Chain A
Amino acid sequence: DGGITQSPKYLFRKEGQNVTLSCEQNLNHDAMYWYRQDPGQGLRLIYYSQIVNDFQKGDIAEGYSVSREKKESFPLTVTSAQKNPTAFYLCASKPGGLRDSHTEAFFGQGTRLTVV
């Protein structure tokens, strides 16, 4: 469905634990993104990657980490340093990367993370 898959759909984490959210795409897209969605705050960019083995911080990167070892995969780790991690996380990808930013971004179905 859409070629970009996030897992799991729901995730519960105890305070002080790190947790990793998965994002996989089979669209051969260069660029991948992680957004956090909170009520009334829209989509805020956490990290993005324009090409394999490279990524940049977004607007709210503190407490998060990513890797881009494969073109298809862009996992997000929510660390214990993230003070308010409960949110809905969306991964997106789009073609072009460094070459062309004027293309549609496709979103995954999201992961709802709850800290218990």
Chain B
Amino acid sequence: GENVEQHPSTLSVQEGDSAVIKCTYSDSASNYFPWYKQELGKRPQLIIDIRSNVGEKKDQRIAVTLNKTAKHFSLHITETQPEDSAVYFCAASRGTASKLTFGTGTRLQVTL
């Protein structure tokens, strides 16, 4: 089955700096890669996703890149703000299997 690894487990950046979170996946047939943000005490919510026919996707301060050959994808947050502090999860799924496998999460702390 699919295995998703995520690094780092914790990340501390100063406000205004950039943050990068990286994930690797094992199933070469995976073709959908969402990122979820979970604030303290709240449910995970989708912030951005990318499909395997696209190498990069951007939404304001958030971007995701995908390297299918190397089987890794990354989340980039620019100009970080205190409200970006949360746990971020990457995930992968393939085709119509619909099984969504998550990484272990990254706790991002944005300091003033």
Contacts and interface: CB of A to CB of B under 8 A. Distances in A.
Interface of A: 2, 31, 33, 35, 40-45, 48, 50, 56, 58-59, 90, 92, 94, 96-102, 104-105, 107-110
Given A42-B6, A45-B99, A102 B46 contact: no
Given A42-B89, A43-B102, A107-B43, 15 more contacts: A33-B100, A42-B6, A42-B102, A43-B89, A44-B102, A48-B100, A90-B44, A92-B100, A94-B98, A101-B94, A102-B49, A104-B34, A104-B49, A105-B34, A105-B46
B96 interface: yes
A48 B93 CA distance: 13
Nearest to A102: B32
B99 A48 contact: yes
Contact of B44 (A41, A43, A99, A102): A43
B43 A101 contact: no
B51 interface: yes
Interface of B: 1, 6, 9, 31-32, 34, 42-46, 49, 51, 89, 91, 93-105
Contacts of A50: 98
A97 B98 contact: yes
Given A101-B93, A102-B32, A35 B43 contact: no
Contact of A56 (B32, B93, B99): B99
B110 to A, nearest CB: 20
A83 to B, nearest CB: 21
Contact of A48 (B1, B49, B98): B98
A45 B101 CA distance: 7
A102 B51 contact: yes
Contacts of A43: 44, 89, 91, 102, 105
A100 B102 CA distance: 18
Contacts of B51: 102
Given A42-B89, A102-B32, A107 B45 contact: yes
